[in-house]
Structure 1
Amino acid sequence: MDKVLGVLEVDLESELDSSPQFIVNHFQIEINKVLKLGRNTEECIYSVEHPSVSNIHCVLWGIRFDPESVPLCYIKDMSLNGTMVNEQVLSRDVPYLLSNQDVIQLPNGAKFKFSAVKSETMSQFMTGLRIKSEWDRWKIVPRIVGSGTFGHVLVAEKVDHNMKRQVAKKTVSYAVKVINTAKTRMVKEATILEKLNHPNIIRIHQSCVDALGNVYIFQDLISGGDLFSYLAKGDCLVPISETESLIIIYQILLALKFLHSNGIVHRDLKLDNILLHTPEPCTKVVLADFGIAKELSQNTKERMHTVVGTPEYCAPEVGFKADRNIYRSFSRTATLDPDNNGYDSKCDIWSLGVITHIMLTGISPFYGDGSEASIIKNVRTGKLNFTARQWIAITDSAKSFVKKCLQVSTFNRCDVEEALHQVWVEKHTSQLERIYKKKVLQLSSDCIKIDENIDTFAVVKHKLPKSVKLSPEKNPNKRLKLFSNNI
């Protein structure tokens, strides 16, 4: 899969006021690599020396879920004086999806032209899919950001007919999931999510069904890709540091605590269903795809008896008694025999354990040779190999966390509250809370930096940790600040 998704070209005729050390006039936007524009000569790919330009003025990045998906490039303004795209001001801290030949302009007049490596032709797209271009207060833009067997995910904009703007400002983009038929699963997903409000759970703004039976689910546009594509490099998944893994796991645990306390079990937790706001360390993550989630009766000990989910992440008690062919299609369901004791919300904790294992080592713990029979056999035994070389640099507390999540016996497996009190998480709770307030809730002016010399987190009034690629290359103009595994 090609790493380059777009090119940013410097307009040499604009008022650059650039640092003399930057002589390249075009830059490649690669998968999971964040580029920065601003005054900072160490962090920015192109330094613009002008008082109206912020230290880090704006950032750009590209994502691509897989070789068949559409490449997507985003820009986010982070400045005091604003960034313009095609002479319209971007909303601060809100990602904007770039289109081919867009012109980016900084306050001093410096201009950059964006060129997409692969430009999509969408002229008759809406007509061919028989999708409405407007619905209620929404306008659907013919830009695909995702596709699947269910249908497509497009960009949508909220229309406010009463708003009078003093300046031409770019509309905030949302996502709309359009399902080709009114499948019960999708209607169920919208019904569950519309009742939820948590920073780490995808937010649904509205859902509706048209005369043709198409379901429209309007939700937040999450622009950093999913956790699977973030870890992917070629045909392999590349591990990330314990620090970065822990920050992601902490957010997922808070989301699961909220879900489970409200009687909701996700049941399909996996890398693909964890979305990132930006493809860089310390980013906010959200849980998505609640199509097979289960809403249990409150204040009861109701258990579930349906085989669902993805085998690689699926807890053993969810059931393997059904026909093996069930697993050839994700999310297809079958009912277990009535004598089975069923399962509860701890099935999500098992999935979390698998995710943690993959993030720390790049290895799926029960994948075996990749066949259904191999996965099912390994999941049933629950045997973990902590002697593998991938675990050598991992702390005992992290191993203990994974082991506690991946107990075959649900009696021995931790629930979400117990997971939050595992040593790996609990000894860093105060520091994790500070990071959470800054990066997720955005309540603090303090930024976060990881101290590489001590076994803890340090909060300092300084820049956030540098974005790193999955396999960083040496760059004389860019100093990488890698997280320490020493936690």
Structure 2
Amino acid sequence: MTTPDLPERLNISRSSTADAAAAEPSPNGTTFYSTDEPESGQKRQGRGEDHAMLATKQQKTYHDGDKTLPTTPTTPAPALTPSPTPVLASRSTTLSPSTTAKYFQSDFTVVNRKPFELEMPDWSANTKAWAFLQSQNPKYPNVYLVKKELNGQERTGYLLGRQPDSDIRFEQSEISKRHCLIYMETGSNGKAKGIRIFLEDLSFNGTWVNGTLVGVKNRVMLRNRDEIQLFRRSSYAENDLRQKFYRVLFPPIYEAHICDHEYEIRRLLGRGNFASVHHAIHRGTGAVAAIKVLNKNRFAQKPRMIQAIIQEVGIMMSLRKHPLVVNIDRVFNEQHKIYLVLEYVPGGELFDYVSTNKTIDEDSTRFIFWQLFMAIKYLHDNNIAHRDLKPENVLLADREKLHIKITDFGLAKTEHRDQSFGSQCGTPNYVAPEILNAPDSRGYDKQCDLWSLGVMLYICLCGFPPFSEENAPPSMKAQIKMGKYTFPSPYWDNISELAKNLIRSLLTVDPIERLNVREALLHEWMHQNREDLKARQNRLGEAVLADILQSEQTVDVTPTQVLMTQSQSLERF
């Protein structure tokens, strides 16, 4: 295969002015930075070229029809009125008249302080930043949003909330643990390359952009200078500092590529109804990736499919990188296709491993399920249900060590408060009985994942599924709803009673009586032959084990949180 020339780097030098304006977005919200003309014959720009001319070339805006996900709204334009000049309030008894701005709070006295000044971004010193969250309140730090390294542990997007591992952490009770997510997609409309920055609302308390409620489970495309609020109160004035949070600013120049310019897409790894997955190599670094390719024409008239893709991207972007979960690196949303750049896992599917070996011994199975339970616990602790667990969606990172990773979040969904799921989805052999109920009584939650794990445990130990049309009558659907299965001889003769007991506890029809993931980890079978399990865990390596254990910690301070903790502005409202 012939490797095309690398694209011209149009932003080798960035503007040094701190208040340079970002490129104007197109009507659909995309901010374009570079033209999409053939690049193979172009000469690489030198450092001595006219930077002003270069910036002008990059900031050209294209308003032609740009095919994007049609269900994604853009935010209303921010008001052009100047922001008030807030003052950091502190407890004080000093009162003196002055022309200095004064600020009132119900539990604070009036103080005279130097007015709070908005900090302008220094793009020349932060060349990898794709946005800047400009604090509108002295309580909160300014934050550059940058592309994070895939080999790090950070999530790809930026999570705002009270959760200990949030990228930007708050203390106010009005703000949810997982309040909202901000992330970036790179893309092209066939004429120019640019970026789209999205905010997804994860909170029932609400997130507002330019004073308009986004709404839980919805996302909006942000525009330069949009204002973000994490709560609003009708009793507060519009410019009240207590409900001021961030304004998002875009860089004047940003190096945006299309997928083909960054990656050489090679062999096919797998294919589904709407997507294919390919082995790919990064042209610059040689790093290996798995790229999921979705053809927009296949689902253009399928709004549910479009929403599922938005949901999949949002969930993966919101998760910190975990050694037992396939991680996402970035998204290219282009004119005809969407490319999800995922972590490459070389060992193939657990399904193929079971098929080749017919069965897996109890010690090896125990280790695999310790990892599966830990991974699902991580998802469930973040209120995410996978909803399509099966051996095909478990990949082997190392076939010798049996290091596994869960993949395919196409049906995954976030569980909000006490709300239940209602859609009928999953793979027939692995679907939980509550999902098969009639629509008027079909309410279920993340406990459906534990049923699927029970089916998988059964298959790993004996090599065939507990529920099948081959066992009819009754039908497979009836078998699942009744919880009707057996442990036939001779296949189960040498399997321990404790293993069978764990399967029975997972394949319990009533989800309330079914083991949850914490209880599954504590089951007696999971603690048999502990020396073997410990040895297998150690073979994963210290770094992997440390990352697994870190995800279990309730306090996980990120660099951004350290800044906020050290700041004097962390006094509560």
**1:400-435 Cα shifts (integer Å, max 9, x gaps):** 111100011112210000000100113456753553
- 1:436, CA displacement in angstroms? 2.5
Aligned to 1:465: none
1:310 aligned to 2:310?
no
Aligned equivalents of 1:432 and 1:177: distance in 2? 34
Separation in structure 2 between the aligned mates of residue 267 and residue 396 of structure 1, nearest angstrom: 28
Shift in Å, 1:442: 4.8
**Counterpart among 259, 262, 277 of residue 379 in structure 2:** 259
Higher alpha-carbon deviation: 402-411 or 262-271 = 402-411
In structure 2, what residue type is equivalent to 1:230?
Answer: Y
1:377 to 468, 475, 478: 478
Match of 1:203 among 327, 341, 344: 327
Of the three residues 394, 398, 408, the one matched with 1:289 is 408
1:224 alignment partner in structure 2: 347
| Equivalent residues of 1:173, 1:221 under 8 A apart | yes
Structure-2 change in CA distance of 1:427 and 1:145 (3 Å): same
Counterpart Cα distance in 2 of 1:244 and 1:217:
32
1:283 Cα offset (Å): 1.6
Judge conservation of contact 2:264–2:281 (CA < 8 Å) in 1. Answer: yes
Amino acid across the alignment from 1:292: L
Question: Could you tell me whether the CA contact under 8 Å between 1:156 and 1:218 is conserved in 2?
Answer: no
1:158–1:373 CA distance, 2 compared to 1 (3 A):
farther
Q: Among all aligned residue pairs of Structure 1 and Structure 2, give the percentage whose two residues are the same amino acid.
A: 31
List aligned pairs for 1:412-451, cutoff 5 A. 412-428=513-529, 432-439=533-540, 442=543
Q: Which of 238, 251, 263 is equivalent to 2:358? A: 238
Partners in 1 of 2:366 and 2:268 — Cα distance? 32
Q: 1:268 aligns with which of 383, 388, 395?
A: 388
Q: Offset at 1:141?
A: 2.5
Contact 2:323 2:544 in 1 (8 A): no
1:157 to 276, 281, 286: 281
Q: Check 1:278–1:140 CA distance in 2 against 1; reply closer, same or farther (3 A cut).
A: same
Equivalents in 2 of 1:406, 1:310: separation in Å?
Answer: 16
Tell me: CA distance 1:228–1:371, structure 2 relative to 1, closer, same or farther (3 Å): farther
Residue 312 of structure 1, CA deviation = 0.5
**Equivalent pair of 1:209/1:216 in contact (CA under 8 Å):** yes
Structure with bigger RCO (C-alpha 8 Å, 6+ apart): 2
Deviation at 1:368, TM superposition (A): 3.7
How does the TM-score come out when normalised to structure 2?
A: 0.46
Q: 1:145 touches 1:154 (CA, 8 Å); kept in 2?
A: yes
Report the counterpart of residue 249 of structure 1 in structure 2.
369
Matched residue, 2:291:
176
Matches within 5 A, 1:14-93: none
Structure 1 residues 429 and 153, CA gap change in structure 2 (3 angstroms): same
**1:188 maps to which residue?**
311
Deviation at 1:227, TM superposition (A): 1.1
The 5 A counterparts of 1:276-425 are 276-280=396-400, 282-297=401-416, 300-321=417-438, 336-337=439-440, 340=441, 342-369=443-470, 374-425=475-526
User: 1:324 corresponds to which residue?
Assistant: none
Task: Give, in whole Å, the separation in 2 of the partners of 1:304 and 1:372.
Answer: 29
Which residue in 2 is equivalent to 1:50? Answer: none
For residue 87 of structure 2, what is the aligned residue in structure 1? none
Aligned amino acid, residue 424 of structure 1: W
Contact 2:262 2:283 in 1 (8 A): yes
Question: 3-state DSSP class of the match of 1:390?
Answer: coil
Distance 2:498 2:445 in 1: 26
Aligned length: 283
Tell me, in whole angstroms, the C-alpha distance in 2 between the residues paired with 1:429 and 1:294.
34
Per-residue deviation, residues 90-130 of structure 1 (Å, max 9, x unmatched): xxxxxxxxxxxxxxxxxxxxxxxxxxxxxxxxxxxxxxxxx
CA separation in 2, counterparts of 1:142 and 1:258?
Answer: 32
Q: Please tell me the residue identity of whatever aligns with 2:476.
A: I
- The one-letter code matched in structure 1 to 2:295 is N
Shift of 1:311: 1.3
- CA–CA separation in structure 2 for the residues paired with 1:303 and 1:344: 5
Give unmatched runs, 5+ long, in structure 2: 1-192, 194-256, 300-304, 546-573
> 1:402 & 1:154 partners in 2: Cα distance?
35
Asked whether the equivalents of residues 451 and 507 of structure 2 are also in contact (C-alpha less than 8 Å), the reply is yes
AA matched with 2:273: T
Partner letter of residue 340 of structure 2?
A: I
Determine the C-alpha separation between the residues in 2 that align with 1:373 and 1:220: 42
Q: What's the CA shift string for 1:135-185, capped at 9, x where partnerless?
A: 28731333222222223212223354xx8xxxxxxx221111111126422
Higher Rg: 2
| Deviations, residues 332-391 of structure 1 (Å, cap 9, x unaligned) | xxxx22xx1611111100000000000000120011417897210111111232352111
**Runs of at least 5 residues in structure 1 that lack an aligned partner in the other structure:** 1-131, 164-170, 322-335, 445-487
CA distance in 1, matches of 2:420, 2:544: 38
Decide whether aligned partners of structure 1 residues 306 and 151 sit closer, same or farther in structure 2, where only a CA change above 3 A counts: closer
Change (3 A) 1:258 1:137: farther
Cα separation, 2, equivalents of 1:215 and 1:187: 11
For 1:382 and 1:247, the matched residues in 2 are separated by 26
The RMSD of aligned alpha carbons is 2.8
Supply the distance in 1 between the matched residues of 2:443 and 2:527 (Cα, whole angstroms): 31
Q: CA deviation at 1:225?
A: 0.9
Q: Secondary structure at the match of 1:369?
A: helix
1:315/1:224 Cα in 2 relative to 1: closer, same or farther (>3 Å)?
same
SS in structure 1 at match of 2:318: coil
Provide TM-score, normalisation by structure 1: 0.54
SS at match of 2:491: helix
TM-superposed CA distance for 1:314, in Å, is 0.5
Q: Secondary structure at the match of 1:143?
A: strand
What do residues 41-79 of structure 1 show as CA deviations (whole Å, max 9, x unaligned)? xxxxxxxxxxxxxxxxxxxxxxxxxxxxxxxxxxxxxxx
The one-letter amino acid paired with 1:302 is Q
